[in-house]
Chains A and B, each alone.
Chain A
């Protein structure tokens, strides 16, 4: 299995631009999670999906952030417009079953907004 795939691995963009991060979960996993990691705040859960449906988006910082999961094998996290304080590493993770299984993380996308 290829594991959780994220693209791009690195993204540098200017303030005000739209940024789209992509994730392909492990096949057969029903849960998908988006995290943000910064030095100041550590790992934060932004949103998670179950069977392509958003379950909890209370961690999404503001309306500039949106996430979709159009099918079981693809999810996007979009930031529009981007700001320098959005600079962070964004992780996608997937899990097969609720409540009992560890989450499998992708390699992350390092986002830099200048």
Chain B
């Protein structure tokens, strides 16, 4: 089974600043996918960004980017120019070819005005 570890239960950042959320995972698969999901107070799970393990280039999506270190099995999320609407729980997840999602325990991010 895969495991996903998020070692930061809570984080805060000043509005307009940059913050990085950490995630490590453990898998024996060669082909897998990694995701960051955002869960605001509304509870809706929203996909933030997606990374294919076979791609060396780090995924970016507007203000969101990842630092994917395959050898280290690390997949951190960087949020630039933080906005108040970024306040949410952020979940790191891995997906293997067996279609099993494995979620981390989440990081609660608060953006401070």
Contact = CB atoms under 8 A, between A and B. Distances in A.
Interface stretch (A18-26, A42-50, A64-72, A73-81): A42-50
A103 B101 contact: yes
B55 interface: no
Contacts, number: 49
Interface in B31-47: 31, 33, 35, 37, 42-47
A12 B105 CA distance: 26
Nearest to B52: A100
Chain A interface category by residue count? 20 to 34
Contacts of B52: 100
B50 interface: yes
Contacts of B95: 99-100, 102
Interface of A: 31, 33, 42-43, 45, 48, 50, 55-56, 89, 91, 93, 95, 98-100, 102-105, 107-108, 110
